[in-house]
Amino acid sequence: MKKIFLLLLLVALLQLPAEAKWKKKKKSKKEEVPAWTLSNEVDSMSYALGINLGTNFKENLKAIPGGRSNAEWLIKAFAASLRGDSVLMTKEAANEYFGNYIAKHQALDTEKRKAEEAGFFAANREKEGIVTTESGLQYQVLRPAEGTKPLPEDRVKVHYEGSLINGTSFDSSIKRDKPLVITLNAVIPGWIEGLQLMSPGAKYRFFVPHHLGYGEHGAGDIIPPYSGLIFDVELLEINPENE
């Protein structure tokens, strides 16, 4: 955790090349005037760099566990460090404090998500029409169908919508208007188990606990660690041709 204090600034700097495209404002069809009007080239570059860092930094602050920060104190400390003025903490103390803070609030966020997930699945299993399997997967039959069921090595063609248990949507083949075709054993365990219960034409709602989903790590910025998931899945075909 020694260098974690520099993490957000580093991310902002790494994003800079992709975003630092100097734009010009059109004064007329014949003449273009630069967007900056500072007294010299270095001042303008420094101001532009500040805009890029500030914009990226603002977005990256949202990823801090606990979701809170104090912009005024952040700016004071940043400006003092940049100028070489005296600060309230040594760099070593700042690194240690920041690392401990992140670790503490990551743990708190994790416990909160675990409690929310446990409460959701405990309440959901008591609802009418909900079936809970031995693994912990819960499902609801939205539209039944009879016929062949897929095996793990089969390819399946499905339409689906996915959301977190708080209702936040994160993916939808329906919105893309493009069904997913994939080998069944290449998806998350909750899907592998659930789709083997279905026949083409059926539509189920899967309630997937984190250990049958994306586990303790989550999936990028979209699905946090220890997240329960909800999927509406329609099985269109098994081993579709010409896909």
Residues labelled as active-site residues: 160, 170-171, 188, 214, 231
Q: Around Cβ 229, how many Cβ atoms within 10 Å?
A: 24
Residues 6+ apart with CB under 8 A from 235: 145, 150, 156, 157, 158, 195, 198, 199, 200, 201, 202, 203
Closest C-alpha to 180, from 196, 161, 164: 161
Task: Give the DSSP letter of residue 88.
Answer: S
Place of tokens 């399997």: 133
- Judge contact between 129 and 141, C-beta under 8 A: yes
Distance (Å) of CA 110 to CA 113, 200, 228: 5, 38, 12
